[in-house]
Amino acid sequence: MILSDKKILENIESQDIVIKPFRPEALGTNSYDVHLGRTLAVYSDRVLDAKKDNKVETFEIPEDGFVLKPDCFYLGVTEEYTESHKHVPFLEGKSSVGRLGIDIHATAGKGDVGFCNFWTLEISVKQPVRVYPGMPIGQLIYFEVSGDVGTLYSSKTSAKYNGKTHLPVASKMFRNFDKLS
């Protein structure tokens, strides 16, 4: 079941959901709008290796915007830091963003119960488009969980993305190969 606006507010009040900064005007009927943070990242190498810690170069989006290009893959970040202690958060692109040809995630739209961080966005575009820091970029939808959670994401020692940072985070797939050795 998806949480309504009233249920999201109740859970913010009880601190089962944390959104910082919280903007009342960003609360929708059954979602919360998140905004594009100031920092983007691109991978340093043109060819990525799933077994490597691929390095990224970060840069700030100027106030007059930055043009995303179709032949480049970008990592972005939300302005909002979020925590979800009892619900599964899903990040979806806003329809207005999709209608500009911007995809904000390739595969990682679902968070885990216990996810406490900024959201890294996996951004690609169909044609060149100018984006701005602070623009609405996506919406969080919260789902109720059936049953007790054994281990929150924030408590998992195997969780690859627990390090709190306001910067986009590159793939940590290489850690999966370390476990196979």
* Sign of the CA dihedral running 73, 115, 39, 31: positive
Q: Kind and range of the H or E element at 179?
A: helix 174-180
Nearest-5° Cα angle at 83, 81 to 85 = 180
Residue 91 CB burial class (10 angstroms; 0-12, 13-18, ≥19): buried
Q: Could you say which of 63, 79, 83, 122 is catalytic?
A: 122
> Counting beta carbons within 10 angstroms of the beta carbon of residue 77, is it exposed (0 to 12), middle (13 to 18) or buried (19 or more)?
buried
If one counts every other C-beta atom within 10 angstroms of the C-beta of residue 151, the result is 13
Element (DSSP H or E) covering residue 10: helix 5-13
Burial 30-52 (b: 16+ CB within 10 A, else e): ebbbbbbbbbbbebeeeeeeeee
Q: Determine whether 57 is an active site residue.
A: no
Residues taking part in catalysis: 122
